[in-house]
Structure 1
Amino acid sequence: MLLGSIFTATLLLPLAVIAGQATRASFGHTADGQEVEIVTLTNSHGMRARVMSYGASVQSLLVPDRNGKLADVVLGYDTLDGYLERRQYFGATVGRYANRIAHGKFTLDGKSYSLSLNDGANSLHGGSKGFDQQVWKVLDVKPGPTPSVTMEYVSPDGDQGYPGNLTVKATYTLSDDNQLKVAYVASTDKPTIVNLSNHTYWNLGGEGSGSVMEQELMIPGDAITPVGDAAAIPTGAITPVAGTPYDFRIAKPIGRDIRDGDSQQLLFGHGYDMNWVLSRKEIESRVVARVEDPHSGRVMTIWSGKPGLQFYSGNFLDGTTVGKDHHIYRQGDAFVLEPQLFPDTPNHPDFGSARLEPGQTYRNTIVYRFGIDQAAKQ
């Protein structure tokens, strides 16, 4: 029996939970017969993460509110069919290159590469069949104080136009202090480019609970990489956020400035959909975002060492998606926060480098820390 919608409703926190549970089960099969597994990680507070091998994706995450009630705070579907029928990156690992590459082209060591185009004239999140649409191999499932699951996908040389055989592992770990960590590592057998991230759609009030516009967001970045038009390709400039709707250095409701008609960037993206500059190079892990839901009291703090953070305010959820428990997802019903390199970095040397050499290891460790603000709005 599949563990489907029973984890999507708001539940009372269990009185007693054995710490460190980790179980695996079948979640269905793809059209070509590949089995998709789902792994459930549970800690002693009743927090539960379900990660499926299709796209190495977060299928659900139960988090307690200030009253101890659990709710699933990520958008998605109750069954595998929803993920197969419509590509929306719900909870997914995105790569080889998260975000956009202009015209699907880049040059490495003097050789030009043409990628799969799936976003108009550009390549987005790895192309027409990125890592989000692959069935990953479940390598290891560990119970214990910090239950975890490790999944692997080997992307062959030439996959979606990228050079090199790339071996990628994603490890999801749930700690007893309500942290969900995803650690991405990758290695290659020839020079290539890599930029991995997680594309979970979050609603700290619970998926299906409505708009996230009152949820308060802090991003410690003092600049953005503006885009030139609705195709969302960076111009190459780096512009300060001070005095603009993009200034989240002090927490504010997501929706406070989202309707500022003087903002060309908001017009291009139909809301927030841009990269914040956190640093100009990769550094030690630090806070890259903090979100608080004033109604439930849930607080999520995100940690990473990557220099950029893509913030997307769910602008293209258009009411045609029926998700978990038959909830309809509409514009602004979720947000996405993706720690990563800057978009189109391979075509903007000033942005840094996405290059990975044989013998090197690519890493992106993202930590989602959950807590409660007891003083939040009742």
Structure 2
Amino acid sequence: MNRQQQTIVTATRRQYEVPPLQGGSAATCIQNTSSTAQFPACRQPDDLTAASSGLNAIPYSTAGSPQCHEVDWPTQEQGSTTADVRLFMLRNTNGMTVRITNLGARLVSITLPHDETAIEPDSCYTAEHDISRRSCGTIDVIQGYDSPARYVDDPYYMGAVIGRLANRTKAARFTLNGKTYRLTANDGINHLHGGNTGLHNRLWQATPQVRNKAATLVLQCTSPDEEEGYPATLHLTATYTLTNDNTLRLELSAATDDTASVLTPVSLTAHPYFNLAGHDTATLDGHILTIHADRYLPPGGTPDKGTEGEKAQSAGVCEGTEQLTSAEGYSRIPAGKIYSVHGTPFDFNNPRDLTQALHEVPEGFDHYAIITLPEAASVRHSQSGTEDTCPQLCHAATLHHAPTGRTMQVHTNQTGLQCYTANFIAPDTPGKNGVHYQPQSAVCLEPHGYPNAVNNAHFPQIFVTEKQPHTHITEYRFFTHKAQQGTALCRKA
């Protein structure tokens, strides 16, 4: 969409305070110079009635034990055929709540309580910094809808678990062991996010519980053989855990039940739309984004913007790879080459104001960044044919809202993440609480394997079997942080 067609509130140009950065060993410092599913019976306590007033309501006090319950949707259409679409709420001891629906295992809301608990992660500081409880009102930091019917009709994958293959697959097909599998073409001539009946449109079996003093929701579903064109029956589990240090952990697992060890490709992700100023905020003003990625996969229609030296140094570049053009319908699919981010608009290694970055790239960001692993986690497994994931969780990205100090870190075991600035959201899309969402009013940070890996043999491969399952872990760590003037924030490089 033409950026000039949007109403943009431009933030005053200034250097915002940035949150601490983590990962690696040697320290380098940045000087900050400015200020149909069956459900278990769930007892609903009396104070859960507050949930009916809207997704921003906090139905509990900010003290108590972790809980997970089924709750009512704020809006349920008369005569609706969505009776099997359920809503569950997780709550931790700080009063932070997360709502999840069994339709697509989707995140519906992430609501931070009136008194946010500012829990800083381990970090490296050279000066005093503010860690405090502060009153800033309830805030829901992801976009979504009030009613199950809206999720049934949702074209944007709001908050959904995505698969079997996240992102785009060229020409909606791939060849495996001499056989070509044709997938549903639901994005022009390509396959996007698992197809029309992908995991985002499936009813998952949901089980709420408390594990290890943390509110947990376990969701399970089975994708049958040949669904959307994929080989093998696949059994999937999504486990959401809300910890008492305000971390939302998502564990995704997938394995076939085929004793003949038939391979099938799997690359899962989650698709929440974040705005740390609140889901009802019309822009990304004040957001600072850091992505720890030295390399990226440029879309097929992206011109080469790195220097020749940078391109030569880019690990994994496959010479002679077919260059795709927008006329062929592949403009948003990586062409197979891996480039350095340095000297390109896709370099977020240093914290960047997202509003300013969107002025540089008015069409918005929708690219795959390859996470730079700390030295201790840099062992890759692609030579053995297994998934090329971090052997431990890696700090992939940080999103910080400077005016409030509200911060989210993304840690994952995946090779990279898609950075997408909600470019294709239609203007005035109806959302929660009567809000209308705008293009580029949120950002998605979607960890998963290399896109279109099934058609690029030199990419880390994503095939799984019964004995070699897919395992995905992503943590969203929330805290508040206000850096003091003159504070030096440093990252272990």
TM-score (norm 1): 0.91
Verify the 8 A CA contact 1:288 1:304 in the aligned structure 2.
Answer: yes
- How far off is 1:209 after superposition? 1.6
In structure 1, the residue matched to 2:103 is 54
Give the alignment of 1:1-378 within 5 angstroms.
3-8=51-56, 16-25=62-71, 27=73, 35-64=84-113, 66-142=134-210, 145-188=213-256, 189=258, 190-229=262-301, 231-260=331-360, 266=361, 270-279=363-372, 281-283=388-390, 284-375=392-483
2:269–2:446 Cα contact (<8 Å) kept:
yes
**CA–CA separation in structure 2 for the residues paired with 1:117 and 1:137:** 27
Deviations for 1:120-157, whole angstroms, at most 9, x for unmatched residues?
A: 11000001121101111113433662010100010000
- Corresponding residue SS for 2:171: helix
Greater shift, 229-238 or 302-311, is seen at 229-238
For residues 162 and 244 of structure 2, the distance between their equivalents in structure 1, rounded to whole angstroms, comes to 27
Count of residues in correspondence between the two structures? 368
Distance (whole Å) between structure 2 residues aligned to residue 15 and residue 233 of structure 1? 47
Larger radius of gyration: 2
Query: 1:219 Cα shift?
Result: 0.3
**Secondary structure at 2:356 match in 1:** coil
Query: Equivalents in 1 of 2:351, 2:389: separation in Å?
Result: 24
* Matches of 2:470 and 2:62, distance apart in 1: 39
Consecutive unaligned residues in structure 1, runs of 5 or more: 261-265
* Mean Cα deviation higher: 25-34 or 103-112: 25-34
CA distance in 2, matches of 1:113, 1:370: 41
Residue identity in the other structure for 1:235: A
For residues 285 and 178 of structure 1, the distance between their equivalents in structure 2, rounded to whole angstroms, comes to 17
User: Is the Cα–Cα contact under 8 Å of residues 183 and 191 in structure 2 kept in the other structure?
Assistant: yes
Percent identical among aligned pairs is 31
Does the residue aligned with 2:165 lie in a helix, a strand or coil? Answer: coil
Looking at structure 2, the residues matched to 15 and 53 of structure 1 have their Cα atoms a distance apart, in angstroms, of 25
Cα distance, 1:85 vs structure 2:
2.4
1:313/1:5 CA distance change after superposition, 3 Å: farther
Q: Deviation at 1:226?
A: 0.6
How far is the alpha carbon of 1:106 from its aligned partner?
0.5
* Alpha-carbon separation, structure 2, partners of 1:257 and 1:26: 40
Cα distance, 1:14 vs structure 2: 6.9
2:104–2:203 contact (8 Å) kept in structure 1: yes
Q: Give the aligned residue type for 1:243.
A: G
One-letter amino acid of the counterpart of residue 308, structure 1: G
How far off its partner does 1:282 sit? 1.1
Q: How many Å separate the matches in 2 of 1:348 and 1:214?
A: 38
The aligned residue for residue 263 of structure 1 is: none
Deviations along 1:335-366, one digit per CA (max 9) or x if unpaired, are: 00001011101101111101002222211011
Q: Which runs of 5+ in 2 are unaligned?
A: 1-48, 117-133, 302-325, 373-379, 381-387, 486-493
Q: Which moved more, 1:217-226 or 1:312-321?
A: 312-321
Measure, in 2, the Cα distance between the counterparts of 1:285 and 1:56.
22
Q: Check whether the contact 2:291–2:396 (CA below 8 A) recurs between aligned residues.
A: yes
* Greater strand fraction, Structure 1 or Structure 2: 1
Q: Distance in 2 between matches of 1:5 and 1:323?
A: 15
Q: TM-score, normalised by structure 2?
A: 0.71
Matched-pair contact (CA < 8 Å) for 2:219–2:238:
yes
